[in-house]
Amino acid sequence: MSSFQLKRFCTACSTHSSSLEEENQELWLEFISRLLLDTKIKILETAWCLSAFPSELCEFSTNPIRKEAIWVQTLFPLYMQAVLVILHLFYCYFLQVRVTKLEKTMPLPDTLFCAQQIKIPPELPDIMKQFTKAAIRTQPHDVLQWSAAYFTALSKGEPLPVKERIETPSAKQKMDAGLTPGLLKVLHKQLSAKGTVSVAELKEKWKDLCLPEEQLAAILQLDTFDEEVEWMKILALGCSVLGESLLSSMKHACEILTQDPEGGAARIPYETFSFLYCYLASIDGDIPDEKIKAFLQKIKEDADKQSGMVLLRNFQSQPSTRF
């Protein structure tokens, strides 16, 4: 084998260093076959040279000069060829060992995985299922922003920014109104347990639901607030945005605060009803105190007969003051 062929073989070894083990074995078999073939050819050529000069062979043992000439012309090239073959065999062997070690320690960049190699966390399908259902129920305007808030609350164990059901807007309700009873109920679940919340936290929860910031700013301008706000007052002002009158606002408040199932009596404690009604009446400013007291007295009489709970039917039939 010539040095050019051996160089091509070494180049092929380095080029295919990241190939599969079967391909490397085929390459080695091809190399050994060619090496044996070249060795047989050299042996035949040497035998032919020796047979072509019988006189030189006869003088091989008697004439030192002819002995050296025959050695240089015939046997020495074969000997050097054998030495080179052995050296290249060792070189290629150690090259292959090094490549094999690299293949074991360094994974291939374009490794293809089969279905059995891909490990799916067992809780992932249920998480994605619940997330998808929540997104469909809530219908956020900014899915990415809402998703970030959803998974943040999920990781912290906080109430999720998710509606209980899909809301169908009524004919009077604008599609771009922003705040809805369902979203206000979500905010109540997230913030009511704290009682008093900071304006910064309120703005953050408001933004998580993809509600317009201008609407929250308008709500906060209805009263004088510091850096801390009482959540029930914010709830009352949110209901006033949803309702066209004082009693319709109270209706929204009862439906948000009640523990009854949807479509039920929407009962809430009289103390909660009285606080919200008085606060909204003071914001309105046009309802006399005597009228407020007379209205609440009538509501209290009904609540005393209902275990201290106020029902929607206790005030829906009464005339209401428009905001």
* DSSP symbols for 169-190: --SSS-TT----HHHHHHHHHH
The span from the CA of 273 to the CA of 295, in Å, is 12
Mean pLDDT of the region 187-191: 95
pLDDT of 2 reads 47
* Rg from Cα positions in the chain: 46
**Could you tell me the pLDDT band of residue 263, with boundaries at 50, 70 and 90?**
confident
Of residues 283, 282, 281, 317, the one with CA closest to residue 302: 317
**Could you tell me the pLDDT band of residue 248, with boundaries at 50, 70 and 90?**
very high
End-to-end C-alpha distance for the chain, whole angstroms: 102
pLDDT digits (tens, 9 = 90+) for 67-117: 455 555 555 566 666 666 676 666 566 656 555 665 555 555 556 566 677
pLDDT of 216 reads 94
Of residues 243, 317, 246, the one with CA closest to residue 287: 246
Q: Could you tell me whether strands 309-310 and 268-269 are parallel, antiparallel, or unpaired per DSSP bridges?
A: antiparallel
Of residues 43, 73, 75, the one with CA closest to residue 35: 43
320 has a pLDDT exceeding 70: no
The span from the CA of 258 to the CA of 194, in Å, is 18
The span from the CA of 254 to the CA of 242, in Å, is 13
The span from the CA of 293 to the CA of 300, in Å, is 10
The span from the CA of 322 to the CA of 195, in Å, is 28
The span from the CA of 6 to the CA of 16, in Å, is 15
pLDDT digits (tens, 9 = 90+) for 194-207: 899 999 999 999 99
Token pair belonging to 198: 């900071």
As beta bridge partners, residue 196 has: 230
As beta bridge partners, residue 277 has: none
The answer to whether residues 249 and 205 touch, using CB atoms and an 8 Å cutoff, is: no
pLDDT of 282 reads 92
pLDDT digits (tens, 9 = 90+) for 25-65: 566 556 665 665 565 555 555 555 544 444 444 444 455 55
Q: What are phi and psi of 2, to 5 degrees?
A: -80, 165
pLDDT of 61 reads 46
Q: What are phi and psi of 242, to 5 degrees?
A: -75, -35
> Residue 300 burial (CB < 10 Å; 0-12/13-18/19+)?
middle
Mean pLDDT of the chain: 77
9 has a pLDDT exceeding 60: no
The more confidently predicted of residues 170 and 235 is 235
| DSSP annotation string for 86-111 | HHHHHHHHHHHHHHHHHHHHS--TT-
**Could you tell me the pLDDT band of residue 138, with boundaries at 50, 70 and 90?**
very high
Kindly report the number of other CB atoms within 10 A of residue 147's CB atom: 15
pLDDT of 95 reads 59
**Could you tell me the pLDDT band of residue 119, with boundaries at 50, 70 and 90?**
confident
Tokens 């020495």, located at residue: 76
pLDDT of 57 reads 44
The span from the CA of 297 to the CA of 277, in Å, is 12
C-alpha distances (whole Å) from 55 to each of 50, 52, 65, 79, 144 are 10, 9, 13, 23, 97
pTM beyond 0.75: no
Q: What are phi and psi of 152, to 5 degrees?
A: -65, -45
